[in-house]
Amino acid sequence: MSHILIDHLTQAASFYRGQLRASPRAVAYLKSRGLRGDIAARYGLGYAPAGFQALREAFQNYNDRALEKAGLVAVNDGGRRYDRFRDRIMFPILDDAGSVIGFGGRVLEGDGPKYLNSPETEVFQKGRVLFGMTQAAEAIAATGTAYVVEGYLDVVSLAQHGVQNAVATLGTATTGQHVERLLGLAKRVIFCFDGDDAGRRAAARALDVCLPHVTDTADVGFLFLPRDHDPDSYVRAKGGDAFNDLALEASTLEGFFLANAMQGCQLEYAEGRARLVATAAPRLQQINAPAMLRRILAAIAAPTKFSVGELIDLCGLEKNMPSTIDGQ
Protein backbone atom coordinates (compact mmCIF):
# COMPACT_ATOMS: atom_id res chain seq x y z
CA MET A 1 0.00 0.00 0.00
CA SER A 2 2.88 2.42 0.75
CA HIS A 3 3.92 2.70 -2.88
CA ILE A 4 0.31 3.36 -3.90
CA LEU A 5 0.02 6.19 -1.41
CA ILE A 6 3.30 7.70 -2.57
CA ASP A 7 2.17 7.44 -6.20
CA HIS A 8 -1.03 9.31 -5.35
CA LEU A 9 0.83 11.96 -3.37
CA THR A 10 3.30 12.42 -6.21
CA GLN A 11 0.44 12.80 -8.67
CA ALA A 12 -1.22 15.35 -6.39
CA ALA A 13 2.03 17.31 -6.09
CA SER A 14 2.24 17.52 -9.88
CA PHE A 15 -1.38 18.71 -10.04
CA TYR A 16 -0.75 21.38 -7.39
CA ARG A 17 2.32 22.66 -9.26
CA GLY A 18 0.27 23.03 -12.41
CA GLN A 19 -2.45 24.84 -10.51
CA LEU A 20 0.10 27.29 -9.12
CA ARG A 21 1.23 28.21 -12.61
CA ALA A 22 -2.42 28.72 -13.60
CA SER A 23 -3.31 30.90 -10.59
CA PRO A 24 -2.24 34.57 -10.86
CA ARG A 25 -3.52 35.10 -7.31
CA ALA A 26 -1.32 32.36 -5.84
CA VAL A 27 1.69 33.52 -7.86
CA ALA A 28 1.09 37.09 -6.70
CA TYR A 29 0.98 35.88 -3.09
CA LEU A 30 4.37 34.18 -3.41
CA LYS A 31 5.84 37.25 -5.09
CA SER A 32 4.48 39.37 -2.25
CA ARG A 33 6.52 37.17 0.09
CA GLY A 34 9.59 37.84 -2.03
CA LEU A 35 9.92 34.31 -3.43
CA ARG A 36 11.48 33.73 -6.84
CA GLY A 37 10.26 31.14 -9.28
CA ASP A 38 13.43 29.06 -9.12
CA ILE A 39 13.11 28.68 -5.33
CA ALA A 40 9.42 27.75 -5.63
CA ALA A 41 10.43 25.12 -8.17
CA ARG A 42 13.29 23.79 -6.02
CA TYR A 43 10.89 23.09 -3.16
CA GLY A 44 8.08 21.93 -5.47
CA LEU A 45 5.60 24.55 -4.27
CA GLY A 46 2.07 24.33 -5.63
CA TYR A 47 -1.44 25.59 -5.10
CA ALA A 48 -4.56 23.70 -4.02
CA PRO A 49 -7.61 25.34 -5.65
CA ALA A 50 -10.53 26.53 -3.55
CA GLY A 51 -13.00 23.99 -4.93
CA PHE A 52 -14.18 21.16 -2.68
CA GLN A 53 -13.33 18.46 -5.22
CA ALA A 54 -10.58 19.99 -7.36
CA LEU A 55 -8.61 16.74 -7.21
CA ARG A 56 -11.22 15.11 -9.46
CA GLU A 57 -9.24 16.69 -12.27
CA ALA A 58 -6.09 14.88 -11.14
CA PHE A 59 -7.52 11.42 -10.37
CA GLN A 60 -9.71 9.37 -12.61
CA ASN A 61 -11.27 7.62 -9.62
CA TYR A 62 -11.94 10.29 -6.98
CA ASN A 63 -13.68 7.65 -4.85
CA ASP A 64 -10.48 5.63 -4.49
CA ARG A 65 -10.05 4.83 -0.77
CA ALA A 66 -6.31 5.28 -1.19
CA LEU A 67 -6.87 9.03 -1.56
CA GLU A 68 -8.24 9.04 1.98
CA LYS A 69 -5.39 6.89 3.26
CA ALA A 70 -2.93 9.29 1.66
CA GLY A 71 -4.54 12.22 3.48
CA LEU A 72 -5.60 13.96 0.29
CA VAL A 73 -9.36 13.45 0.60
CA ALA A 74 -11.63 13.49 3.65
CA VAL A 75 -15.25 12.41 4.14
CA ASN A 76 -17.83 14.43 6.05
CA ASP A 77 -20.54 13.06 8.32
CA GLY A 78 -22.91 12.85 5.39
CA GLY A 79 -20.51 10.67 3.43
CA ARG A 80 -19.54 13.40 0.97
CA ARG A 81 -15.91 13.39 -0.12
CA TYR A 82 -13.92 16.61 -0.29
CA ASP A 83 -10.34 17.78 -0.78
CA ARG A 84 -8.50 18.19 2.51
CA PHE A 85 -6.43 21.08 1.13
CA ARG A 86 -8.29 24.00 -0.43
CA ASP A 87 -7.09 27.46 -1.40
CA ARG A 88 -3.63 26.92 0.06
CA ILE A 89 -0.04 27.22 -1.05
CA MET A 90 1.23 23.65 -0.97
CA PHE A 91 4.62 22.55 0.37
CA PRO A 92 5.46 18.92 -0.50
CA ILE A 93 7.13 16.98 2.31
CA LEU A 94 9.70 14.45 1.12
CA ASP A 95 11.27 11.35 2.60
CA ASP A 96 14.98 10.54 2.41
CA ALA A 97 14.52 9.07 -1.06
CA GLY A 98 12.95 12.31 -2.29
CA SER A 99 9.44 10.85 -2.56
CA VAL A 100 6.42 12.94 -1.61
CA ILE A 101 4.93 11.57 1.62
CA GLY A 102 2.74 14.47 2.73
CA PHE A 103 1.98 18.17 2.43
CA GLY A 104 1.86 21.35 4.40
CA GLY A 105 -0.64 23.89 3.15
CA ARG A 106 -0.55 27.60 3.98
CA VAL A 107 -3.72 29.63 3.69
CA LEU A 108 -3.48 32.68 1.44
CA GLU A 109 -6.05 34.70 3.36
CA GLY A 110 -9.30 34.35 5.26
CA ASP A 111 -10.40 31.99 8.00
CA GLY A 112 -8.96 28.66 9.06
CA PRO A 113 -5.61 27.64 10.51
CA LYS A 114 -2.61 29.34 8.92
CA TYR A 115 -0.99 25.96 8.26
CA LEU A 116 -2.62 22.60 7.67
CA ASN A 117 -0.54 19.42 7.56
CA SER A 118 -1.32 16.04 6.13
CA PRO A 119 -2.71 13.67 8.76
CA GLU A 120 -0.62 10.79 10.05
CA THR A 121 -0.58 8.05 7.45
CA GLU A 122 1.22 4.84 6.65
CA VAL A 123 3.98 6.85 4.97
CA PHE A 124 3.90 10.11 6.95
CA GLN A 125 4.62 10.64 10.64
CA LYS A 126 5.24 14.26 11.59
CA GLY A 127 7.47 13.43 14.52
CA ARG A 128 10.00 11.77 12.24
CA VAL A 129 10.14 14.16 9.30
CA LEU A 130 11.72 17.56 8.80
CA PHE A 131 10.63 19.81 5.95
CA GLY A 132 13.42 20.75 3.58
CA MET A 133 15.86 18.05 4.68
CA THR A 134 16.24 16.68 1.15
CA GLN A 135 17.18 20.12 -0.16
CA ALA A 136 19.32 21.03 2.88
CA ALA A 137 21.30 17.80 3.28
CA GLU A 138 24.23 18.84 1.10
CA ALA A 139 24.58 22.26 2.76
CA ILE A 140 24.33 20.72 6.24
CA ALA A 141 27.14 18.32 5.36
CA ALA A 142 29.25 21.15 3.92
CA THR A 143 28.76 23.59 6.81
CA GLY A 144 28.38 21.10 9.65
CA THR A 145 25.47 23.20 10.88
CA ALA A 146 21.70 22.75 10.74
CA TYR A 147 19.22 25.52 11.50
CA VAL A 148 15.84 24.35 12.80
CA VAL A 149 13.00 26.79 12.21
CA GLU A 150 9.25 26.64 12.77
CA GLY A 151 7.70 27.45 9.38
CA TYR A 152 7.85 26.22 5.81
CA LEU A 153 8.24 29.76 4.49
CA ASP A 154 11.14 30.31 6.88
CA VAL A 155 13.03 27.45 5.21
CA VAL A 156 12.24 28.58 1.67
CA SER A 157 13.03 32.25 2.33
CA LEU A 158 16.32 31.43 4.04
CA ALA A 159 17.32 29.25 1.08
CA GLN A 160 16.57 32.07 -1.34
CA HIS A 161 18.93 34.30 0.61
CA GLY A 162 21.75 31.78 0.58
CA VAL A 163 21.09 30.01 3.88
CA GLN A 164 20.63 26.54 2.44
CA ASN A 165 21.03 24.51 5.64
CA ALA A 166 17.64 25.12 7.30
CA VAL A 167 14.84 22.65 8.02
CA ALA A 168 11.46 22.98 9.73
CA THR A 169 9.50 20.85 12.18
CA LEU A 170 6.20 20.77 10.24
CA GLY A 171 4.37 23.08 12.59
CA THR A 172 4.67 20.60 15.43
CA ALA A 173 6.89 20.49 18.48
CA THR A 174 10.42 19.15 18.17
CA THR A 175 10.61 15.43 18.93
CA GLY A 176 13.37 13.17 20.17
CA GLN A 177 13.50 11.57 16.73
CA HIS A 178 14.08 14.99 15.17
CA VAL A 179 16.92 15.68 17.60
CA GLU A 180 18.62 12.33 17.07
CA ARG A 181 18.42 12.69 13.31
CA LEU A 182 19.81 16.22 13.36
CA LEU A 183 22.66 15.33 15.70
CA GLY A 184 23.51 12.43 13.41
CA LEU A 185 23.86 14.79 10.44
CA ALA A 186 25.28 18.03 11.83
CA LYS A 187 28.09 18.94 14.20
CA ARG A 188 26.08 21.95 15.33
CA VAL A 189 22.29 22.26 15.59
CA ILE A 190 20.75 25.68 16.17
CA PHE A 191 17.08 25.99 17.03
CA CYS A 192 15.67 29.32 15.86
CA PHE A 193 12.71 30.94 17.57
CA ASP A 194 10.80 34.19 17.46
CA GLY A 195 11.95 36.56 20.18
CA ASP A 196 8.54 36.88 21.84
CA ASP A 197 7.23 35.02 24.88
CA ALA A 198 5.69 32.30 22.73
CA GLY A 199 9.07 31.72 21.08
CA ARG A 200 10.77 31.34 24.45
CA ARG A 201 8.15 28.88 25.61
CA ALA A 202 8.69 26.87 22.43
CA ALA A 203 12.44 26.97 23.06
CA ALA A 204 11.94 25.64 26.59
CA ARG A 205 9.95 22.73 25.18
CA ALA A 206 12.70 22.04 22.64
CA LEU A 207 15.26 22.09 25.44
CA ASP A 208 13.31 19.45 27.35
CA VAL A 209 13.24 17.24 24.25
CA CYS A 210 16.95 17.69 23.58
CA LEU A 211 18.29 16.86 27.04
CA PRO A 212 18.00 13.03 26.94
CA HIS A 213 19.59 12.90 23.48
CA VAL A 214 22.57 15.27 23.63
CA THR A 215 26.06 13.95 24.23
CA ASP A 216 29.19 15.66 25.46
CA THR A 217 30.28 16.08 21.85
CA ALA A 218 27.01 17.66 20.73
CA ASP A 219 26.82 21.39 20.02
CA VAL A 220 23.24 22.60 20.38
CA GLY A 221 22.28 26.26 20.37
CA PHE A 222 19.16 28.39 20.79
CA LEU A 223 18.78 31.52 18.67
CA PHE A 224 16.14 34.13 19.42
CA LEU A 225 15.25 36.53 16.64
CA PRO A 226 14.63 40.19 17.50
CA ARG A 227 11.05 40.87 18.53
CA ASP A 228 8.64 41.35 15.62
CA HIS A 229 10.81 39.10 13.43
CA ASP A 230 10.74 35.48 12.37
CA PRO A 231 13.48 33.94 10.17
CA ASP A 232 11.53 34.78 7.00
CA SER A 233 11.06 38.46 7.82
CA TYR A 234 14.56 38.82 9.26
CA VAL A 235 16.39 37.40 6.27
CA ARG A 236 14.27 39.43 3.86
CA ALA A 237 15.07 42.61 5.79
CA LYS A 238 18.72 41.95 6.63
CA GLY A 239 19.99 39.25 4.26
CA GLY A 240 21.52 35.80 4.63
CA ASP A 241 24.91 36.94 5.90
CA ALA A 242 23.24 38.91 8.69
CA PHE A 243 21.26 35.82 9.69
CA ASN A 244 24.43 33.71 9.82
CA ASP A 245 26.15 36.42 11.87
CA LEU A 246 23.21 36.54 14.27
CA ALA A 247 23.40 32.76 14.66
CA LEU A 248 26.92 33.15 16.04
CA GLU A 249 25.27 34.77 19.07
CA ALA A 250 23.03 31.78 19.79
CA SER A 251 22.90 30.66 23.41
CA THR A 252 24.51 27.33 24.15
CA LEU A 253 22.30 24.56 25.49
CA GLU A 254 23.91 24.93 28.90
CA GLY A 255 23.53 28.70 28.84
CA PHE A 256 19.86 28.52 27.91
CA PHE A 257 19.26 25.77 30.50
CA LEU A 258 20.64 28.00 33.24
CA ALA A 259 18.92 31.19 32.06
CA ASN A 260 15.59 29.41 31.81
CA ALA A 261 15.97 27.74 35.22
CA MET A 262 16.97 31.01 36.92
CA GLN A 263 14.11 33.00 35.45
CA GLY A 264 11.97 34.38 38.26
CA CYS A 265 14.28 33.08 41.02
CA GLN A 266 15.38 35.70 43.51
CA LEU A 267 18.74 34.19 44.33
CA GLU A 268 19.49 36.61 47.17
CA TYR A 269 16.88 34.72 49.21
CA ALA A 270 16.98 31.11 50.37
CA GLU A 271 13.54 30.54 48.88
CA GLY A 272 14.74 31.71 45.47
CA ARG A 273 17.76 29.44 45.60
CA ALA A 274 15.57 26.50 46.59
CA ARG A 275 13.24 27.32 43.71
CA LEU A 276 16.15 27.21 41.26
CA VAL A 277 17.17 23.74 42.47
CA ALA A 278 13.59 22.48 42.33
CA THR A 279 13.13 23.88 38.82
CA ALA A 280 16.37 22.42 37.51
CA ALA A 281 16.11 18.97 39.12
CA PRO A 282 13.71 17.29 36.62
CA ARG A 283 15.79 18.50 33.69
CA LEU A 284 19.08 17.50 35.30
CA GLN A 285 17.72 13.97 35.71
CA GLN A 286 17.28 13.78 31.92
CA ILE A 287 20.89 14.55 31.04
CA ASN A 288 22.98 11.58 29.93
CA ALA A 289 26.10 13.61 29.08
CA PRO A 290 28.32 13.42 32.19
CA ALA A 291 30.67 16.33 31.44
CA MET A 292 27.75 18.60 30.60
CA LEU A 293 25.93 17.55 33.74
CA ARG A 294 28.97 18.37 35.87
CA ARG A 295 29.35 21.82 34.28
CA ILE A 296 25.68 22.67 34.84
CA LEU A 297 25.84 21.46 38.44
CA ALA A 298 28.92 23.61 39.02
CA ALA A 299 27.14 26.61 37.52
CA ILE A 300 24.11 26.06 39.76
CA ALA A 301 26.26 25.44 42.84
CA ALA A 302 27.70 28.96 42.93
CA PRO A 303 24.47 31.03 43.08
CA THR A 304 22.57 28.52 45.22
CA LYS A 305 25.45 28.13 47.74
CA PHE A 306 25.11 24.34 47.58
CA SER A 307 28.05 22.10 46.80
CA VAL A 308 27.91 19.83 43.75
CA GLY A 309 27.59 16.86 46.10
CA GLU A 310 24.62 18.45 47.87
CA LEU A 311 22.98 19.17 44.52
CA ILE A 312 23.40 15.54 43.51
CA ASP A 313 21.53 14.52 46.66
CA LEU A 314 18.86 17.21 46.37
CA CYS A 315 18.19 16.52 42.69
CA GLY A 316 18.21 12.74 43.02
CA LEU A 317 21.10 12.20 40.62
CA GLU A 318 22.88 9.35 42.44
CA LYS A 319 20.91 6.66 40.65
CA ASN A 320 21.05 8.43 37.31
CA MET A 321 24.80 8.68 36.87
CA PRO A 322 26.57 6.91 39.72
CA SER A 323 29.62 6.08 37.64
CA THR A 324 30.24 9.61 36.36
CA ILE A 325 29.43 11.94 39.24
CA ASP A 326 31.60 11.56 42.29
CA GLY A 327 29.94 14.18 44.45
CA GLN A 328 33.09 16.21 45.00
Contact between 117 and 123 under an 8 Å Cβ cutoff? The reply is no
Q: Which helix (H) or strand (E) holds 19?
A: helix 2-21
pLDDT digit of tens for each residue in the chain (328 aa)? 799 999 999 999 999 999 999 999 999 999 999 999 999 999 999 999 999 999 999 999 999 999 999 999 999 999 999 999 999 999 999 999 999 999 999 999 877 788 999 999 999 999 999 999 999 999 999 999 999 999 899 999 999 999 999 999 986 689 999 999 999 999 999 999 988 888 889 999 999 999 999 999 989 999 999 988 999 999 999 999 999 999 999 999 999 999 999 999 999 999 999 999 999 999 999 999 999 999 999 999 999 999 999 999 999 998 655 454 444 4
- Give the contacts of 267 (CB within 8 A, at least 6 positions apart): 273, 276, 303, 304
As a whole number of angstroms, the distance between CA 14 and CA 106 comes to 17
- Nearest of 86, 176, 163, 88 to residue 132 by alpha carbon: 163
pTM for this entry: 0.92
**At the fourth CATH level, which superfamily is domain 2-119?**
DNA primase, catalytic core, N-terminal domain (3.90.980.10)
What's the CATH code, domain 133-254?
A: 3.40.1360.10
Residues 6+ apart with CB under 8 A from 155: 43, 131, 132, 136, 149, 166, 167, 168
Q: Which residues of 78-106 are buried (b: 16+ CB within 10 A; e: fewer)?
A: eeebebbbbbbbbbbbbbeeebbbbbbbb
